[in-house]
A and B are shown apart, each in its own frame.
Chain A
């Protein structure tokens, strides 16, 4: 069972850098492995442990500047290796930075065909920075693989998978022929925390970097042009209610909510 797992180095939503005039500094904001991609790695490694085969992690750098961000992307892949992936491949190219989901998927398709064949491609349901929920669907279409999105339970059977999809109003159990692309939700498993030994071992595993030309692709341009990224100005009042006693705090809060008209007197 050969499994490709897709890992995004996502802007760290907890570490946003903002300057004194309230401008969001994307270039200075660090990247971190996207949360649900850790679930994808965990699921891939569990299947390998049960069925044998190998797990190959892929990533495409989508944020620049390259010099500052490439280390973060390598760390994201290193985390996948420490969790149990066998090898990792990273594409870094100026022409796809900042990246968009269409260009990213084009690169992932090429990588999967180059390093495959794979029985299964697993990724998180969405990346934490963009939340587009598109990668798995687009990639399956480009590769002409079966597609199963929003998977919270997965069984690998003979030549096919049985998966439970977590939809808004129902759980949908489907069977899909392999090869397949699946996206997983955060509920599918509890990602392991690599031990120090596993982290040390990960440095002996291959982590290769490529430009687009290295994998036989010409420059790519997204069809969706970004005009601007701006910080949402928080319009909350941010009033901290402080007083001598909890009773006074409660009374002040009740008064505020009454005057806002959100509770009834």
Chain B
């Protein structure tokens, strides 16, 4: 089987290589994987891309130029699979190629399994409440979630070659403003204390920060706290358009539990919900639920935690 992998950055290639490992284990078929990345050659470390047979470096920054390169390479190689990590630009590029060449595409395939002779691919729908499954057939284009599938640890180190692409001119990039990189990376945090609309003011969030620091965790938030009130930066926003967390413990405090929020937090090992509304949907997704006013309960919880240490 021949696979073409696209990555904005080389780290995204690992997600696709991980998926191919799982696919190989199910089919027993060998896979030849060619990767193409938007980064320039000098930013690529071939030792970290074991499992890829060859790597092309385009050295372009926009999704429009990257599309031209991936399409050109796709036509040269006629792969059975085109795979990328589910970033926004990758989804855009792969969807364009899917439409242009009439090859079907699935966004964010999270699971694969063998049923009789068929390989079944599954993805989330309905905000993570349901799984929709498809029978795998070639050719196929797909994206996979970041850091979901484990890349191979062994394998030959691929050769890296520069790959020249044309720059599209119907859309022109005028400016790129890097988002403020706060010191927080809640996606990497083992413990996250999430705050929602149950908090009445920005100052009141201090108590959540105190709890997070006691537990050695980070503070995350729902969409309104970041996008509507601007009380916290978007780097703390847990949601399908924001960050996805998968640590040991998630405290959802004053959060009702919108599907988009749940979907991005549901990979946490243990979820605790604190809400004064006993009917809040968040309790359905929690291991431990506490119906209480956060303004009364959090100070008590913090006091008790402090008394132990």
- The CA of A130 and the CA of B108, in the complex, are separated in Å by 11
A148 at the interface (CB under 8 A from B): yes
Q: What residues of A have a CB within 8 angstroms of the CB of B272 in the complex?
A: 253, 257
**Scoring B residues 212 to 243 as 1 if CB is less than 8 Å from chain A, else 0, what string do you get?**
00011000000100010000000000001100
Q: Which residue of A lies closest to B169 (CB)?
A: A177
Q: Which residue of B lies closest to A163 (CB)?
A: B171
- The CA of A102 and the CA of B93, in the complex, are separated in Å by 15
Please count how many residues in chain A sit with their CB below 8 Å of the partner chain's CB atoms.
78
- Summarize B's interface: helix, strand, loop or mixed: mixed
**Scoring B residues 280 to 292 as 1 if CB is less than 8 Å from chain A, else 0, what string do you get?**
0001111111111
Q: Which residue of B lies closest to A229 (CB)?
A: B132
B98 touches A229 (CB 8 A): no
- Summarize A's interface: helix, strand, loop or mixed: mixed
Q: What residues of B have a CB within 8 angstroms of the CB of A141 in the complex?
A: 95-96, 99-100
Please count how many residues in chain B sit with their CB below 8 Å of the partner chain's CB atoms.
75
B91 touches A133 (CB 8 A): yes
Q: What residues of A have a CB within 8 angstroms of the CB of B124 in the complex?
A: 131, 232
A246 touches B130 (CB 8 A): no
Least Cβ–Cβ distance between B87 and chain A, in angstroms: 6
A260 touches B270 (CB 8 A): yes
Known A-B contacts A137-B92, A174-B172; the reply to A240 vs B227 at CB < 8 A is no
Q: What residues of B have a CB within 8 angstroms of the CB of A250 in the complex?
A: 297, 300-301, 303-305
**Scoring A residues 150 to 185 as 1 if CB is less than 8 Å from chain B, else 0, what string do you get?**
100000000000100111111111111100000001
From B88, B288, B292, A246 is in contact (CB under 8 Å) with B292
Additional A-B contacts beyond A134-B91, A149-B88, A264-B216 (8; CB < 8 A): A131-B124, A138-B98, A139-B99, A162-B174, A226-B134, A246-B300, A253-B290, A263-B191
Q: A interface vs B, CB < 8 Å? A: 11, 13-14, 16, 24, 101-102, 105, 125, 128-134, 137-142, 146-150, 162, 165-177, 185-187, 222-232, 234, 236-242, 246-247, 249-251, 253-254, 256-257, 260-265
